[in-house]
Amino acid sequence: MSASVFGPAAEPVVVDVWSDVVCPFCYLGHALLAEAVEQFPHGSAVQVRYHSFQLNPGFPVGAAVLADDYLANQYGMPKAQIAGSHAQLAARGAQSGLDYRFESTQMINTLDAHRMIHLAKAHGQENAMVDRLFRAEFTEGLNLADHTVLTDLAAAEGLDRAEAAHVLATGAYEKEIRADLARAKQLGITGVPFFVFDNKRAVSGAQPIETFRKALDVTWQDRATQPA
């Protein structure tokens, strides 16, 4: 992968992450990566950058339905199958301190939620905003298509409520979101979460912590062997 895909990489290690806030595996991947970085001896030298991805871009903007109902109606999945899959993921999430409550999780168009992440990025609060949106979606069952909910969450993370409302009202950060989506297409990303370490190696999916640790270790070794 060329450096031009992402622009100049920050020193010394950058992890670029594509994810969507209605993706339960993205929430788990977010937590697992954070654990891996915390365990990594050089964790303070790792920068995680989040990029927008939409699992369901055609979903009506502003609408919200229970995710279980959406899966059953859209894909014909039996409720028992959905419940079994959720139970397995909830068990994995619990090991990382996540409290999945799938019965209240809602399917939405995530475009406006991504606007809040880009706003937070502009103020150095990107990671915290991503985490807060995931928790709102998968534990609290909040409607992330609701602008009042989004501005409340932004304010809770220390962002200016009026600025957040303006971003939503004007459709700000559209260019940045579309650029993220275009990059994902360029790299052939069709599913999330998707992680790229220092523009060189990729990890797809919510892999075990050991996988992320290995990627960090090898990436650090690469940097150490590069000529000064």
SS3 of 180-198: the string is: HHHHHHHCCCCCCCEEEEC
Residue 131 near residue 79 (C-beta atoms within 8 A): no
Q: How many CA atoms lie within 13 A of 39 on its CB side?
A: 15
Q: Which domain holds residue 70?
A: 3-225
> What are 140's two structure tokens?
């609290």
- What CATH number is associated with residue 177? 3.40.30.10
* Number of domains into which the chain is organized: 1
pLDDT tens for each residue of the chain, 228 residues long:
444 344 444 477 999 999 999 999 999 999 999 999 999 999 999 999 999 999 999 999 999 999 999 999 999 999 999 999 999 999 999 999 999 999 999 999 999 999 999 999 999 999 999 999 999 999 999 999 999 999 999 999 999 999 999 999 999 999 999 999 999 999 999 999 999 999 999 999 999 999 999 999 999 998 877 665
Residue with tokens 């168009």: 109
Q: Helix or strand or coil: residue 45?
A: helix
The whole-model pTM stands at: 0.93
Q: Helix or strand or coil: residue 42?
A: coil
CA–CA distance, 127 with 68 (Å, rounded to integer): 27
> E strands of 20-95, at which residues?
46-52, 65-66
